[in-house]
């Protein structure tokens, strides 16, 4: 992970006084105002009803800036300028916990780990200790336009137990009947590959989270072959950034979006499509007997910094909000559309609402059910470093390089670059 050289952030804004906090004040870093920061504001309001004396500062940074500031601060060996609580993406958590285990507070006795979705525990624990407080679910689904699928002769029942091979066939029919592409993909983001392989309990690295597992990885090989089959079928609309990704479905250019549930607010923003969307289970991999119709894309968890004044207060805040407050999770769902991974909250009334935008489907209840079915994998410490290699090799594969050579070369590069 690149530590960057952006030290300037420590002499600006809120950070100068953060190392001098009293125990009656805590600071939290998170990204995404509409989602994570909004969730923190909701939790803060709930907590301060019972604990009005604790001042809670919520600071929004871009995720890349948080990573850079964390690395810079932790590398310096001083806690000055670091927050009490920080949001870290699950794909990145193990790299921080491996490198700086003493920097994070052990939350094993503050929260009950077994109350959270099992697949969230691997990324958030280290050396037998539970450090992270699991937050949002990146549980995936197959969002689809019911009207476009019907024009191609498909009903909801036809999408309930399909493979990616079936999905491609459907895409060809949709393209022939409607002229629309099936899916939009960014060649520099292999999120689709990550969803596929996790559905089969596989990842880019072995169970130790460090050893690259590319050559001979049957799930990864099938995922690559499936990706190429989609491209060859001429059912993919390419995009190069988030705004183009969202525009593809808001503009009605694609019939499906297999992705994480956090896309729901972006789908909803095109009000003219209300009633024309539904969500089916994710397709599974035909050649992997352990592949299921559930996977994950993204998702993050909260971490308390151990050596910053106010660590106990920060742990108490986390324990009494995201760690145990069932009503908080109902509020997050109702107000933000954020699906947590706290199992006792997965059966409240907010999950049971029929959603007219999705044709009356109880989409949150479906996502909550699928969350419990997501296979657990160790994301390890090199997810994005390995993906950088695979992005290049995917283009080589699409251009005719043999799949076994593609994965063997990726394996060699990973072993050379990641010591």
Any idea what the CATH number is for the domain that residue 16 is in?
A: 3.40.190.10
If asked whether residues 243 and 286 sit together in one domain, one would say yes
If asked whether residues 267 and 160 sit together in one domain, one would say yes
Provide the strand spans (E) within 14-147: 25-30, 55-60, 85-89, 125-126, 129-130, 133-134, 140-145
Considering the entire predicted model, what is its pTM? 0.86
Question: With contact defined as beta carbons under 8 Å apart, do 74 and 15 qualify?
Answer: no
The contacts of residue 360 (CB under 8 Å, 6+ apart) are 354
355 belongs to a structural domain: no
354 belongs to a structural domain: no
* Pairing relationship of beta strands 277-280 and 140-145 according to DSSP bridges: antiparallel
Q: Give, in order, the Cα–Cα distances in Å from 337 to each of 51, 264, 329, 370.
A: 26, 8, 10, 16
If asked whether residues 319 and 191 sit together in one domain, one would say no
Please provide the DSSP assignment of 265-314 as one string: HHHHT-GGGTTSEEEEPPPB-TT-TT--S--B---EEEEEBTTSTTHHHH
- Range of the structural domain that residue 184 is part of: 140-295+377-417
366 belongs to a structural domain: no
Give the residue among 278, 262, 254, 291 at the shortest CA–CA distance from 363: 278
Looking at residue 354, what is its pLDDT? 94
175 belongs to a structural domain: yes
64 belongs to a structural domain: yes
Residue ending a domain, choose from 286, 321, 345 = 345
Provide the strand spans (E) within 22-169: 25-30, 55-60, 85-89, 125-126, 129-130, 133-134, 140-145
If asked whether residues 283 and 314 sit together in one domain, one would say no
Residues 397 and 230: their CA atoms lie apart, in Å, by 13
If asked whether residues 235 and 183 sit together in one domain, one would say yes
If asked whether residues 197 and 56 sit together in one domain, one would say no
351 belongs to a structural domain: no
If asked whether residues 109 and 173 sit together in one domain, one would say no
28 belongs to a structural domain: yes
Residues 220 and 273: their CA atoms lie apart, in Å, by 35
Question: What values do phi and psi take at 359, rounded to 5?
Answer: 65, 25
Residues 164 and 192: their CA atoms lie apart, in Å, by 11
If asked whether residues 308 and 381 sit together in one domain, one would say no
If asked whether residues 109 and 156 sit together in one domain, one would say no
Looking at residue 276, what is its pLDDT? 99
If asked whether residues 157 and 225 sit together in one domain, one would say yes
Give the residue among 364, 355, 295, 304 at the shortest CA–CA distance from 332: 364
Dihedral class, residue 252 (left if φ above 0, else alpha if ψ from -120 to 50, else beta):
left
63 belongs to a structural domain: yes
Give the residue among 81, 69, 86 at the shortest CA–CA distance from 19: 81
Q: Which residue, chain included where needed, has tokens 């909260």? A: 302
Q: Consecutive 10-residue runs of the chain (419 residues): their mean pLDDT?
A: 30 38 86 90 97 96 93 90 97 94 97 95 95 97 99 97 98 98 96 98 94 98 99 97 93 98 89 98 98 97 97 98 97 91 88 94 94 93 96 98 99 93
What total number of domains does the chain contain?
2
Residues 354 and 158: their CA atoms lie apart, in Å, by 21
Q: Which residues pair with 256 in a beta bridge?
A: 144
Question: With contact defined as beta carbons under 8 Å apart, do 270 and 150 qualify?
Answer: no
If asked whether residues 211 and 123 sit together in one domain, one would say no
* Pairing relationship of beta strands 125-126 and 129-130 according to DSSP bridges: antiparallel
If asked whether residues 261 and 390 sit together in one domain, one would say yes
Question: With contact defined as beta carbons under 8 Å apart, do 220 and 274 qualify?
Answer: no
Token couple for 336 = 């933000």
What DSSP character marks residue 376? P
Question: With contact defined as beta carbons under 8 Å apart, do 70 and 87 qualify?
Answer: no
């Amino acid at each position: 992970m690149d530590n960057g050289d952006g030290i300037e952030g420590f002499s600006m804004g809120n950070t100068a006084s953060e190392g001098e906090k009293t125990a009656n004040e805590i600071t939290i870093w998170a990204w995404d105002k509409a989602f994570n920061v909004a969730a923190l504001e909701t939790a803060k309001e709930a907590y301060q009803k019972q604990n009005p004396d604790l001042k809670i500062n919520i600071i929004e940074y871009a995720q890349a800036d948080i990573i850079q500031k964390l690395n810079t601060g932790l590398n310096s060996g001083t806690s000055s300028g670091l927050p009490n609580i920080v949001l870290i993406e699950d794909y990145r958590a193990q790299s921080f916990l491996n490198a700086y285990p003493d920097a994070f507070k052990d939350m094993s006795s503050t929260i009950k780990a077994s109350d959270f979705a099992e697949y969230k525990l691997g990324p958030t624990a280290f050396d037998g200790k539970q450090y992270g407080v699991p937050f949002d679910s990146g549980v995936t689904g197959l969002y689809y336009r019911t009207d476009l699928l019907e024009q191609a002769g498909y009903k909801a029942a036809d999408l309930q137990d399909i493979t990616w091979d079936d999905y491609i066939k459907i895409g060809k029919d949709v393209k022939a009947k409607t002229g629309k592409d099936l899916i939009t993909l960014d060649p520099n983001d292999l999120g689709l590959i990550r969803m596929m392989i996790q559905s089969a309990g596989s990842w880019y690295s072995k169970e130790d989270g460090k050893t690259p597992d590319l050559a001979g990885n049957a799930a990864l090989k099938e995922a690559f072959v499936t990706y190429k089959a989609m491209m060859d079928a001429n059912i993919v609309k390419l995009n190069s950034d988030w705004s183009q990704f969202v525009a593809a479905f808001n503009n009605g250019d694609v019939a499906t979006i297999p992705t994480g549930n956090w896309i729901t607010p972006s789908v909803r923003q095109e009000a003219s499509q209300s009633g024309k969307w539904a969500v089916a289970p994710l397709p599974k991999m035909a050649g992997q007997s352990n592949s299921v119709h559930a996977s994950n894309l993204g998702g993050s968890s909260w971490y308390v910094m151990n050596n910053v004044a106010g660590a106990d207060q920060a742990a108490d805040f986390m324990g009494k909000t995201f760690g145990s407050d069932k009503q908080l999770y109902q509020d997050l769902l109702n107000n933000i559309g954020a699906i947590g991974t706290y199992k006792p909250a997965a059966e409240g009334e907010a999950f049971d609402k029929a959603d007219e935008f999705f044709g009356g489907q109880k989409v949150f209840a479906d996502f909550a059910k699928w969350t419990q079915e997501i296979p657990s994998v160790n994301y390890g410490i090199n997810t994005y470093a390995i993906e950088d290699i695979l992005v290049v090799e995917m283009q080589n594969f699409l251009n005719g390089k043999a799949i076994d050579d593609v994965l063997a070369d990726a394996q060699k590069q990973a072993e050379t670059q990641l010591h």
